[in-house]
Amino acid sequence: MRHLRALLLTNLKASLALRGAFWARAVFMVLNNGIMLAIWLLFFLRYDSVRGWRAADTVSIYAVCATAFGLAVVLGHGVNDLARRIHEGGLDALLTQPKDVLLQCVGSRSEASGWGDLFTGVVLLAVGGHLTPAGIPICVVAALSGAAIFLASMVLFHSVAFWLGDTTAVSRQAVHFLLLFSLYPSTIFGGWLKLLLFTALPAGFIGYLPVDLLHRFSWGTLLAVAGAAVGYVALAALVFRLGLRRYQSGSRFA
């Protein structure tokens, strides 16, 4: 834990070193999120609901996803370069260190715009009336599990590089898909698409179930969300470890 804290503080210092760029990225991300949400709110002025999905649900899904995604990229933006590092032998330097390779790699960068996401998420949770004494623990579980699933999915998408070579573009595209599907009304998806959103692209566990949890708390949903977070993190760690056995040094200095 001490190591993790030191890693996070170092990254935060590095992002804050360019103070102007840090604030520009964070503030513009808040505006960016606000505009996207505004488009949906305008849509719901015209259409009351989409199969029972209302404007309040969209505010909640933006709140949950922005908080989770913000946390994920503030704490672990290093994962964004994982496929490239695997392909180019960039893990060499981490393998010689006594700490966990995956943790080092994931925590090696922090994205300043994530603070903007985090701020947006917390404000929207407050606007939605979820930051009450009873609601705060639920928000914390939703945000932490969402961030964990985001990071775990990113590790899974990028770890494919151990087997397929340079998959940076495909891996990043998969992350975009995850984010894309997380933000739309869950009621429009059914059948095989719904199955996909609770397995390979776990948008259901990042957005839909946590929103359900915020609006209609049930222990079953809470367990499903927390269980999914633990499951995806364990799966990501396992796949990364299996991949690491196949990893070959980049011999960059040879």
Partner 1 sequence: MKGLAIAALAARHALHQRGEVLFRGVFYLAILLIFARLWQALGAGGSYVWYIALTEWIVLSMPLLSVEIEEDVRRGDVAYAIARPVSYLRVKVAEGLGNGIIRLLMLGGLGGLAAWLLTGTPPPRGLLLSLPLGTLAFSILVLTQAAIGLSAFWIGDTAPLFWIWQKLLFVFGGLMFPLEVYPEWLQRAAYATPFAPLLHGWARLAFDPDPALAARTAVLLLCWGVALVAFVAWLYRRALVVMDVNGG
Window 107-126: contact mask with partner 1 (x via CB under 8 A): ------x-------------
Q: Which of residues 66-105 bind partner 1 (CB under 8 A)?
A: none
Is 46 or 245 the residue whose CB approaches partner 1 more closely?
Answer: 46
Residue 181 near partner 1 by CB under 8 A: yes
Helix and strand numbers (H, E) in the chain are 14, 0
How does DSSP classify residue 53?
A: B
Amino acid at 161: A
Residue 242 near partner 1 by CB under 8 A: no
Binding region for partner 1 (CB under 8 A) out of 25-33, 93-101, 139-147, 239-247: 25-33
CA 19/CA 239 separation, integer angstroms: 37
CA distances from 138 to 160, 190, 214 (A): 33, 26, 7
Give least dist CB 19 to partner 1, A.
Answer: 12
Is 37 or 139 the residue whose CB approaches partner 1 more closely?
Answer: 37
Residue 188 near partner 1 by CB under 8 A: yes
Residue 160 structure tokens: 């494919």
Please check whether residue 121 is in contact with residue 68, taking contact to mean a CB–CB distance below 8 angstroms: yes
Amino acid at 136: I
How does DSSP classify residue 201?
A: S
Residue with tokens 């770890």: 159
- Select from 162, 189, 232, 240 the one that contacts partner 1 (CB under 8 A): 189
CA 92/CA 134 separation, integer angstroms: 47
Is 18 or 93 the residue whose CB approaches partner 1 more closely?
Answer: 18
**How is 86-104 classified by DSSP, letter by letter?**
HHHTTTHHHHTSSS-HHHH
Which one, of 163, 124, 162, 142, lies nearest residue 226 by Cα? 142
Residue 19 near partner 1 by CB under 8 A: no
Residue 177 near partner 1 by CB under 8 A: yes
Window 194-233: contact mask with partner 1 (x via CB under 8 A): ----------------------------------------
To which H or E segment does residue 62 belong? helix 55-76
Binding region for partner 1 (CB under 8 A) out of 2-10, 73-81, 166-174, 246-254: 166-174
Give least dist CB 174 to partner 1, A.
Answer: 10
Binding site for partner 1 (CB under 8 A): 21, 24-25, 27-29, 31-32, 35-36, 38-39, 42-43, 45-47, 50-51, 113, 169-170, 173, 176-177, 180-181, 184-185, 187-189, 193
